[in-house]
Amino acid sequence: MAQRFGGKFSPQGDDLPGETPQRGVYERAQVDPVGARANVMFIPAIPMVFMALNDGAIGLTIALVSAACLTLGAWLLRGGLQAEAAYNSRKVARRPAIPRKLFSSAATGLGIALAAYRVEPGLVAPVLYGAVTAGLHIAAFGIDPLKSKGLEGVDTFQQDRVARVVDNAEAYLKDMSDAMLRASDRKMELRLEKFQTTARDLIRTVEEDPRDLTAARKYLGVYLMGARDATSKFADIYSRTRDAKARADYAALLDDLDQNFAARTRKLLVEDRSDLNIEIDVLRDRLQREGVRLAPDKNT
């Protein structure tokens, strides 16, 4: 359904009161890691089955197993690319628990080996075809991240707690986006996305320093849960009544949430900087007691 776009330069302007300039919605936008190359990998399984319909029970069974392996490989590849993109987007991340891209290469190689066996029974040719296919698959899509990054000196138990909170927070943000679709209001969708960008700044800050979890837990739990519930109720009401007051009230709520989440993120960053300054001062005092003279800091 067509939607009217509004904003600063639109003829009708923005009918929401008190709007203040905000940064772009797509500041953290990323290209979908599952592109055409990955989607094409689903295609070979289709002709594999149709070409074996007249090959008898054994030939058809081998073709079906081969098609299943190729489909499994394509599905694992999609998941592996998405996991790799999530890993690359974060400064602190654990390696994927399941090496999906490597399993995808193995499944694709096995599927091609079975297809080769159907045409040329034996051992050498299918193994060669399968090995070459798996090698080409790895060359085209790479392998999974094999080690974690940014976790040196971080308590793994605390990191697990952060991971659970972050997963719940991301689920709340996704529920908000899904609920807002019912309102069919593009301008409110953009405003919600701006708040979600701010909320994800706080999420990334906590991920990079799990010690911040205590100070941010209420924001990533209780407040986001309340925002999700408010979004769902607004979408239900506005989709039926197009109530302008409900729209303005919800917009004001998003503004308040955006400002509070941004303020909390700034406070956490300032506290982290203060901790760093304390560590630097302590280290300087120790060096001076050891008789090491330091040049004066030009920044102080």
Shared-domain flag, residues 100 and 164: no
Shared-domain flag, residues 208 and 87: no
DSSP code of residue 295: P
Is there a contact between 263 and 201 (Cβ–Cβ < 8 Å)? no
Q: CA-CA distance, 284 to 296, in Å (whole number)?
A: 11
Residue 224: domain span: 154-289
Shared-domain flag, residues 254 and 133: no
- On average, the pLDDT of the chain sits at 81
Q: Is residue 148 part of a domain?
A: no
Shared-domain flag, residues 231 and 109: no
Q: Is residue 149 part of a domain?
A: no
pLDDT above 90 for 94? no
pLDDT above 90 for 113? yes
pLDDT above 80 for 42? yes
Q: Which pLDDT belongs to residue 27? A: 55
Q: Which pLDDT belongs to residue 156? A: 67
Q: CA-CA distance, 109 to 79, in Å (whole number)?
A: 18
Q: Is residue 65 part of a domain?
A: yes
Three-state SS at 90? coil
Q: Which pLDDT belongs to residue 18? A: 44
For the chain, the domain total comes to 2
Alpha-carbon distances of 290 from 101, 286, 287, 297, rounded to whole Å:
53, 6, 5, 19
Q: CA-CA distance, 82 to 96, in Å (whole number)?
A: 10
pLDDT above 50 for 21? no
What pTM value is reported for the model? 0.63
Q: Is residue 106 part of a domain?
A: yes
